[in-house]
């Protein structure tokens, strides 16, 4: 029984982390129409900057608040100077550009912080363990299970009900019409890209106490977030939530029941979804 | 008029540069190519190797070089992929015309690359890749290894395991050849020592994929399995994540014996700091405090003074390989590739790790293997090993007949 609970918590905490990161990816795609390959690198930067800020101000909270903000600023610069030029162009331009950004960021991290491993300590409030029957479980992972949906809910409420949320959705639906009625679409796009980047970096900072930091740590995340976004429906919030949850739980329970086949689970899921329901669980035909 | 002036100028410039270059032509250098993983998530290992190599090159050149010639080092990035590794090896041999090759971190790359080495007719000393196959199934005349290989390290682990009172063993290792072979050899050697020992079946052991960052499901699986002995062959970032997450889950509560085949790697100990539990048996390929010889003390001091960190096993590997080449070239009296190979076979040389002898039949070096229990020490910022247990080379190295090497 306790083993089941532990696996459940594992799946939920990993799923929620994946949800936050995939949310950034799906928002950027939904609004800007850009598939950002470098999303995983922003995740990595969020983790590294959190670590670096903690060297100056030894509080995890300062790291997790300031780090993603700095990365979001970088996102603004990248959007204005680079991504702007490939809007509306062939998708291969976007893929090449974002892939190039990924390579540059990965190597930049390696040059600045060195190739070795770094670790980040969880904050005192969230470190330590609690007991489930006879087993212990880290408090920090429970925090992840809660933090993910909270942030996701806040964003969903923003997009559904606030004025700015509606403006963004309008610009996403029909860019020319939105510009026609006076919405400054380019500025909006920059803001949304910064938001997407912030989400990735925030996910990275959240993940930092949980795993060691090394260059190219975004590699796995980007593949899994792509799978979540495709399975959930590109541009869909509930889709990202459902997709991440399912993937997290499958991976967690898969290690128990599937043995070495567990590695194939994300890809099998992707293949099945693409065959049965190509627009994803919650996707709409565009 | 102007054309003649320019022609004269060009010809005199050419003559001058020929004259200036002449001294460089006459000074022959010994060229050594190093191939390690210099980029990506495992670039730490290439960086360590480069540091060890640079220290060796500077020391050797300051002492007069190899057979009187200065050493020139060329570093190439294998990126951990076999096709890239083959390409850079060929570049080193055919373009830079190196006299000797040193390198290879990844066992996967080594396995693929080693059969191509004889075509390049250049000797290669492997200093990190531990798969038994490169001095076994795919061994050949041109490939040597001076570092501790997988069977040697695992045999020492089996000997330690036999001395504990654990009755059922399981494993957690990376899901590729290294993890699976570590378990395979461990089972084999431990059964030989203690036939009544039990091992969990394939479905119950844990082989997380290499890119795993979340080990909780596997930790849970092992804790539920009822095994009281665990062989951990995870390494690098995987091991760091596993130890931290295992601590939180209560994995190290003393209910099970834990042996970590690569737990004493300095990059792991540095990253973990106090989070590495004390009293765990860990192994490595070179432990900087295991050997109290003057040779080792000089090496550790020189490395620390220059790089402000303790030498990892990969740094020692590259450093030791260059000194081994030097010894072989001196024994052969030349850097001719075939003569160096003949000199390497059966060569005994003193390295910081101790005295090693290269077995002529399979080109694997016989060197002592050190394991130790993790312990805190006020002089060092990382966990050190105390006590250190040294396993003699003869006790842990499989006989040639078992290696599968037929040259």
Q: What CATH number is associated with residue B191?
A: 3.40.50.2300
DSSP three-state, residue B372: strand
Q: Please check whether residue B263 touches A, CB under 8 A.
A: no
Query: How distant is the Cα of A111 from the closest Cα of chain B, in angstroms?
Result: 10
Q: Same domain, yes or no, for B250 and B376?
A: yes
What chain B residue is nearest to A214 in terms of C-alpha separation? B41
Do the Cβ atoms of B132 and B361 come closer than 8 Å? no
Tell me which chain A residues have a C-beta less than 8 angstroms from the C-beta of B223.
135
Dihedral sign from CA coordinates of A186, A192, A198, A203 = negative
pLDDT tens-digit map of A167-216: 888 877 777 888 888 888 888 889 999 999 999 999 999 999 888 888 87
Cβ contact (<8 Å) for B213 and A211? yes
Do the Cβ atoms of B266 and B288 come closer than 8 Å? yes
B24 has pLDDT over 60: no
A87 has pLDDT over 90: no
Instruction: Categorize the per-residue pLDDT at B25 as very low, low, confident or very high, splitting at 50, 70 and 90.
Output: very low
Q: A131-169: string of b/e by CB count within 10 Å (b at 16+)?
A: eeeebbbbebbbbbbebbbebbeebbeebeeeeeeebbe
Mean of all residue pLDDT scores within chain B: 89
Cβ contact (<8 Å) for A137 and B237? no
Q: What is the token pair recorded at B73?
A: 């080092």
Q: Please check whether residue B44 touches A, CB under 8 A.
A: yes
Cβ contact (<8 Å) for A135 and B209? no
How much is the pLDDT for B56?
Answer: 95
Lowest mean pLDDT among A259-263, B286-290, B314-318, B353-357: A259-263
Cβ contact (<8 Å) for A219 and B211? yes
Beta bridge partners of residue B206, listed in sequence order: B172
The residue among A278 and B287 whose pLDDT is bigger is B287
Mean pLDDT of B101-114: 91
What chain B residue is nearest to A223 in terms of C-alpha separation? B211
What chain B residue is nearest to A114 in terms of C-alpha separation? B44
Q: Same domain, yes or no, for B244 and B264?
A: yes
Task: Residue B54: name the closest of B350, B324, B302, B329 by CA.
Answer: B302
Total domains in the fold of chain B: 2
Interface mutation vs chain B, best among A103, A117, A220, most B CBs within 10 Å: A117
Query: How distant is the Cα of B386 from the closest Cα of chain A, in angstroms?
Result: 24
Q: Same domain, yes or no, for B272 and B217?
A: yes
Degrees to nearest 5, angle at CA B205 with B398 and B210? 85
Q: Which of B41, B207, B245 sits opposite A260 (nearest CB)?
A: B207
Instruction: Categorize the per-residue pLDDT at B224 as very low, low, confident or very high, splitting at 50, 70 and 90.
Output: confident
CA distance B53 to B75: 10
Query: How distant is the Cα of A215 from the closest Cα of chain B, in angstroms?
Result: 5
Q: Please check whether residue B47 touches A, CB under 8 A.
A: yes
Q: Same domain, yes or no, for B181 and B265?
A: yes
Q: Which residues contact A20 (CB under 8 A, 6 or more apart)?
A: A147, A148, A151, A152, A199, A202, A203, A206
Mean pLDDT of B17-21: 60
Q: Same domain, yes or no, for B87 and B219?
A: no
Tokens 């399975």 correspond to what residue?
A231
Check residue A87 and give left, alpha or beta (phi > 0: left; psi -120 to 50: alpha): beta
How much is the pLDDT for A181?
Answer: 85
Asked if the bond preceding B387 is cis, omega within 30° of 0, the reply is yes
What chain B residue is nearest to A109 in terms of C-alpha separation? B40
pLDDT tens-digit map of B277-297: 998 999 988 999 988 899 999
What chain A residue is nearest to B208 in terms of C-alpha separation? A260
Residue A2's Cβ-count burial label (10 Å; 0-12, 13-18, 19+) is middle
Interface mutation vs chain A, best among B42, B179, B216, most A CBs within 10 Å: B216
Q: Same domain, yes or no, for B243 and B384?
A: yes
Cβ contact (<8 Å) for B47 and A251? no
Residue B219 lies in a domain: yes
Residue B7 lies in a domain: no
Residue B11 lies in a domain: no
ipTM of the modeled complex: 0.79
Residue B23 lies in a domain: no
Beta bridge partners of residue B199, listed in sequence order: B169
Domain enclosing residue B73, as ranges: 30-148+291-367
How much is the pLDDT for B43?
Answer: 85
Mean pLDDT of B241-257: 89
Q: Which residues contact B355 (CB under 8 A, 6 or more apart)?
A: B348, B349, B367
The residue among B23 and B52 whose pLDDT is bigger is B52
Please report which helix (H) or strand (E) contains residue A231, including its range. Answer: helix A218-232
The DSSP secondary-structure symbol of B143 reads E
Interface mutation vs chain A, best among B217, B226, B236, B244, most A CBs within 10 Å: B217
pLDDT tens-digit map of B326-346: 999 999 998 899 999 999 999
Cβ contact (<8 Å) for B244 and A216? no
Q: Same domain, yes or no, for B124 and B158?
A: no
Dihedral sign from CA coordinates of B156, B162, B164, B166 = positive
pLDDT tens-digit map of B366-402: 999 999 999 988 888 888 898 999 999 889 898 888 8
Instruction: Categorize the per-residue pLDDT at A284 as very low, low, confident or very high, splitting at 50, 70 and 90.
Output: low
Q: Same domain, yes or no, for B375 and B227?
A: yes
Residue B331's Cβ-count burial label (10 Å; 0-12, 13-18, 19+) is middle
Degrees to nearest 5, angle at CA B342 with B337 and B344? 90
Residue B18 lies in a domain: no
How much is the pLDDT for B26?
Answer: 47
Cβ contact (<8 Å) for B47 and A116? yes
Q: Please check whether residue B40 touches A, CB under 8 A.
A: yes
Do the Cβ atoms of B49 and B315 come closer than 8 Å? yes
Cβ contact (<8 Å) for B241 and A211? yes
Residue B5 lies in a domain: no
Tell me which chain A residues have a C-beta less than 8 angstroms from the C-beta of B47.
114-116
The alpha-helical segments, DSSP class H, found in A82-207 are 91-113, 139-161, 163-173, 175-180, 185-207
Q: Please check whether residue A136 touches B, CB under 8 A.
A: yes
Instruction: Categorize the per-residue pLDDT at B267 as very low, low, confident or very high, splitting at 50, 70 and 90.
Output: confident
How much is the pLDDT for B273?
Answer: 87
Residue B407 lies in a domain: no
């Amino acid at each position: 029984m306790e083993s089941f609970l532990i696996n459940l918590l594992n799946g939920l905490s990993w799923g929620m982390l994946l949800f936050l990161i995939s949310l950034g990816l799906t928002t950027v795609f939904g609004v800007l129409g850009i598939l950002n390959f470098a999303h995983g690198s922003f995740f990595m930067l969020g983790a590294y900057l959190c670590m670096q800020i903690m060297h100056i101000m030894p509080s995890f909270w300062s790291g997790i608040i300031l780090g993603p903000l700095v990365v979001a600023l970088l996102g603004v610069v990248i959007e204005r100077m680079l991504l702007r030029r490939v809007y509306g162009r062939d998708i291969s331009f976007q893929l090449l550009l974002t892939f190039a950004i990924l390579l540059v960021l990965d190597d930049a991290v390696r040059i600045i912080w060195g190739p070795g491993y770094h670790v980040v300590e969880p904050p005192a409030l969230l470190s330590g363990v609690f007991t489930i029957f006879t087993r212990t479980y880290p408090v920090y992972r429970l925090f992840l299970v809660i933090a993910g949906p909270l942030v996701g809910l806040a964003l969903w409420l923003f997009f559904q009900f606030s004025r700015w949320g509606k403006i963004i959705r309008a610009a996403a639906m029909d860019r020319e019409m939105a510009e026609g009625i006076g919405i400054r679409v380019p500025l909006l796009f920059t803001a949304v890209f910064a938001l997407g980047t912030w989400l990735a970096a925030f996910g990275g900072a959240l993940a930092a106490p949980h795993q060691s930091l090394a260059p190219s740590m975004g590699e796995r995340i980007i593949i899994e977030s792509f799978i979540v976004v495709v399975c959930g429906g590109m541009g869909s919030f509930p889709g990202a939530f459902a997709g991440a949850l399912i993937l997290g739980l499958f991976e967690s329970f898969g290690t128990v029941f599937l043995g070495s086949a567990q590695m194939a689970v994300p890809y099998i899921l992707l293949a099945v979804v693409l065959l049965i329901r190509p627009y994803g669980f919650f996707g709409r035909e565009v | 008029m102007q054309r003649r002036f320019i022609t004269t100028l060009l010809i005199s410039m050419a003559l001058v540069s020929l004259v200036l270059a002449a001294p460089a032509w006459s000074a022959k250098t010994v060229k050594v190519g190093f191939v390690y993983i210099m980029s990506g998530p495992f670039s730490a290992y290439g960086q360590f190797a480069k540091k060890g190599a640079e220290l060796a090159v500077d020391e050797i050149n300051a002492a007069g070089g190899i057979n009187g010639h200065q050493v020139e080092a060329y570093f190439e990035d294998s990126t951990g992929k076999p096709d890239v590794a083959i390409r850079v090896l060929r570049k080193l041999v055919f373009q830079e015309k190196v006299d000797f090759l040193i390198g290879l971190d990844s066992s996967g790359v080594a396995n693929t690359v080693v059969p191509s080495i004889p075509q390049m007719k250049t000797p290669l000393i492997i200093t990190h890749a531990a798969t038994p196959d490169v001095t076994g199934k795919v061994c050949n005349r041109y490939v040597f290894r001076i570092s501790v290989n997988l069977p040697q390290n695992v045999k020492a682990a089996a000997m330690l395991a036999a001395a504990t009172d654990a009755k059922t063993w399981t494993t957690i290792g990376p899901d590729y050849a290294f993890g699976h072979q570590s378990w395979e050899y461990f089972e084999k050697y431990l059964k030989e020592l203690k036939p009544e020992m039990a091992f969990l079946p394939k479905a119950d052991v844990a082989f997380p994929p290499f890119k795993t960052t979340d080990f909780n499901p596997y930790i849970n699986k092992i804790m539920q399995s009822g095994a009281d002995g665990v062989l951990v062959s995870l390494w690098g970032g995987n091991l760091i994540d596993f130890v931290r997450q295992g601590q939180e889950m209560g994995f190290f509560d003393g209910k099970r014996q834990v042996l970590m085949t690569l737990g004493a790697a300095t990059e792991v100990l540095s990253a973990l700091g106090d989070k590495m539990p004390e009293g765990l048996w860990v192994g490595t390929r070179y432990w900087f405090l295991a050997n109290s010889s003057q040779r080792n003390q000089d090496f550790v001091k020189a490395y620390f003074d220059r790089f402000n960190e303790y030498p990892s096993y990969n740094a020692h590997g590259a450093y030791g390989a260059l000194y081994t080449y030097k010894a072989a070239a001196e024994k052969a009296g030349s850097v001719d590739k075939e003569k160096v190979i003949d000199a390497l076979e059966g060569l005994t040389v003193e390295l910081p790790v101790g005295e090693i002898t290269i077995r002529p039949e399979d080109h694997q070096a016989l060197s002592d293997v050190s394991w130790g229990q993790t312990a805190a020490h006020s002089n060092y910022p990382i966990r050190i090993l105390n006590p250190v247990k040294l396993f003699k080379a003869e006790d842990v190295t499989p006989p040639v007949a078992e290696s599968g090497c037929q040259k």
